Amino acid sequence: MKKSGFSLPHRVVVLAYDRLWPLEFGIAVEIFGWPRPEFLGVDWYDFAVAGPKGEIRSLGGMTMKPDLGYEAAAGADTLIIPAWRDVNERPPEDMLLAVRVAAQRGARLVSFCTGAFVLAHAGVLSGRRATTHWRDFDQLAQAFPDIELIDDVLYVDDGDVISSAGSSAAVDCSLHIIRGDYGGEIANKVARSLVTPPHRDGGQSQYIEAPYQERAGQSVGVVLDWAREHLHEPIDISDMAEAAGMSGRTFLRRFRDGTGTTPLKWLRRERVLRAMRLLEKTEISLGDIADQCGFGSVETFRTAFRDIAGVAPYSYRKRFDPGRPADAEPRIS
């Protein structure tokens, strides 16, 4: 099997608890616990569930018995905390201790929805950027004023702490993690198996704003496909309006109604997504990538890539070629 660009085996542990919310827990199991060997072709995460001793109940009347106790969190490279059952209740001390131990060992901490409250009670969000479900955002802000909370986002990536908003945002957050670990091609394959968009907005930016994707009943889908086939060429709004068979004003209105963003922002993101795939799978120069993705210059490409991916193109490429020398990115005129 093909190796990924990060250290393996990578141990992912999801915490379970009594009166568990099953949706977010199930998302963690589905995405990180199923290796999909028939079409991914990579060594997947080493996955485990850790929880209290004995049987636990979940919403809906199910019961389960975790194989491992909370002490298993000490061996986690990534620790996932699904939505917490009651934001007015302090989590049990053995659960909080598991989070602290994992944090002290340098694990990547991930919260889904109100799982951010568990991280907050464990004391690992102090001075960090984070988010949670919009309904509980104000309560988290009031209870833990030392957290830099970001609202109106799908998830916040603060390095070794990643937090997501409501339930479906856990999927976006998980795909973001996979994209960083395995690359865009693998993340897109997982997204297709889940029958979900691989990106709902900027994908790899440091924090992701409200999602946009084509909405039902809007007639811009053909234009999006056309534009993706011509990303190597200069494209302006008049070109896209002509491809759609609309006036410029009508096209702008339909595009925003259909995607929730502007044509130029959408084009910039699509160009960067193509560049990501080229950086992952080829050795061509940054100058050639800039040309193939329709950027006017290497510097324009670097700026756009940093804005959306959160890292420089050379740093992104190095993730997928660990043997590449760790020197400074070469200058390209």
Reading the chain (333 residues) residue by residue, the pLDDT tens digits are 455 556 778 999 999 999 999 999 999 999 999 988 878 888 999 999 999 989 999 988 899 999 899 999 999 999 999 999 999 999 999 999 999 999 999 999 999 999 999 999 999 999 999 999 988 999 999 999 999 998 878 899 998 999 999 888 999 999 999 988 998 889 888 988 888 876 664 332 333 333 434 443 345 778 888 999 999 999 999 999 998 888 988 999 888 877 768 899 899 989 998 998 899 889 999 999 999 999 989 999 999 998 888 788 988 888 776 555 544 444 332
pTM to 2 decimal places: 0.69
Instruction: Give the 3-state secondary structure percentages of the chain, helix then strand then coil, rounded to 5.
Output: 45, 15, 40
Rounded to the nearest 10°, the torsion over CA 88, 92, 98, 103 is 30
Rg of the chain taking only CA atoms, in angstroms: 21
In whole angstroms, what is the distance from residue 304 CA to residue 319 CA?
A: 19
State yes or no: cis peptide before 9, omega within 30 of 0: yes
Q: Which residues pair with residue 153 across a beta bridge? A: 209
Instruction: State how beta strands 161-164 and 207-209 pair.
Output: unpaired
Q: Cα dihedral angle (189, 194, 197, 198), rounded to 10 degrees?
A: -40
CA distance 13 to 68: 10
